[in-house]
Every structure is written in structure tokens, then in C-alpha cells.
């Protein structure tokens, strides 16, 4: 699997996929709304910081776990610069602010470090018909990712069965 973060025409971040199954969905900034292919049905969304290698690795691992277990569930990969970018989509989520530190040692340069508190990302959501629900935060275990995927698969199976009846 591979994906990369690219800028769209409006200089917003989005995920570009390379050689991935059609059930993996590269997402972009939420300013234009949710990706149209996710407006209906059920999916697992991994919202990850573009600056965090561990976050990107967890997003990668979610897809690999689904492949390894033969799960054909929709997974959306949603990049963000700051977690607050997701607040319009998830207004009732408790966001801890990013940690910004400035070290002005009196030299010619100033060191600014922007980060996030450990354990806050990536953010894990289930999405049903465009409505998100937070199910986890941080570098959850492979077992937890598998459990999230199984819940999405079960919900998808139930939706299909209800549509047939």
C-alpha cells in the first residue's frame, strides 16, 4: 500500500492513493464537506496528522489489517494539519489544543515547535450515512483496529440485509 499527502487546487491537504483497492478512500480537507462516496453507508475513518509519522503508520496499518483479514470494508484516510480542522464536522468532540512552544534564547534564530499531545491522534471514527462517531484516539492496538473494522463490516452487512428485505 502506499499513499501520500498532496495539495489540491486550493492548497488544501488530501490523500492520494497508489495501487489500493476501491474500498480505501483518500480524503481531503473537510471544508468542502465529506467525500461524496462516504455520504451513504458505513465506513471507518482514520483522521491523522500530516506531520506525524506514527499517525501515518497507523493509517497504513488499518488498511493492511483489513487486507490481511480479508475484510472488504470502506476505510477513509483523512489528513489534517491541526485537529481543530475537524471541529466543524465533529462539534461535540473535546479537542485538546496543539502544543506550541517558542524557544527564544536571545540568539539570531527562534525555535518554534508545533506538536500535539501524545495519545490524541490519530482519531478513529465510524461514519454512517455521513454522521461521524468517535470510537478511539491515539495509536490503538492492531487488535482494536481489527475490532473497529469488524464493527464496520457487521454494520455494512446489516444495511445490505435490511435493503433486501
Cell numbers at 119, concatenated: 495519545
Could you give the angle at the alpha carbon of 33 between the alpha carbons of 29 and 36, nearest 5°?
A: 105
Per the CB < 8 A criterion, the answer to whether 103 and 111 are in contact is: yes
Domains and CATH numbers, the chain: 2-91+118-164 (3.40.30.10)
pTM: 0.80
**Per-residue confidence (pLDDT) for residue 100, from 0 to 100:** 44
In 3-state terms, what secondary structure has residue 135?
Answer: strand
**Per-residue confidence (pLDDT) for residue 145, from 0 to 100:** 94
Distant-in-sequence, close-in-space partners of 134: CB < 8 Å, separation ≥ 6: 90, 93, 123, 124, 125
Helix (H), strand (E) at residue 147: helix 142-164
Per-residue pLDDT of the chain (165 residues; tens, 9 = 90+): 689 999 888 888 899 999 999 999 999 877 666 777 788 889 999 999 998 899 999 999 999 999 999 888 999 999 988 777 787 777 666 655 444 444 555 666 555 555 555 567 899 999 888 888 888 888 899 999 999 999 999 988 776 556 554
Cell numbers at 38, concatenated: 462516504
Amino acid at each position: 500500500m502506499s499513499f501520500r499527502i498532496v495539495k489540491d487546487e486550493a492548497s488544501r491537504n488530501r490523500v492520494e492513493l497508489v495501487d489500493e483497492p476501491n474500498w480505501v478512500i483518500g480524503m481531503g480537507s473537510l471544508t468542502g464537506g465529506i467525500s461524496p462516496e462516504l455520504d451513504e453507508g458505513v465506513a471507518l475513518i482514520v483522521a491523522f496528522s500530516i506531520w506525524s509519522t506514527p499517525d501515518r503508520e497507523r493509517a497504513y496499518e488499518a488498511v493492511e489489517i483489513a487486507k490481511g483479514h480479508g475484510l472488504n470494508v470502506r476505510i477513509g484516510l483523512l489528513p489534517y494539519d491541526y485537529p481543530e480542522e475537524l471541529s466543524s464536522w465533529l462539534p461535540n468532540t473535546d479537542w485538546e489544543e496543539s502544543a506550541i512552544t517558542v524557544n527564544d534564547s536571545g540568539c539570531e534564530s527562534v525555535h518554534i515547535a508545533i506538536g500535539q499531545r501524545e495519545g490524541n491522534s490519530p482519531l478513529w471514527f465510524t461514519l454512517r450515512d455521513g454522521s461521524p462517531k468517535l470510537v478511539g484516539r491515539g495509536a490503538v492496538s492492531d487488535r482494536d483496529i481489527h475490532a473497529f473494522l469488524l464493527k464496520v463490516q457487521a454494520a455494512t452487512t446489516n444495511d445490505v440485509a435490511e435493503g433486501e428485505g
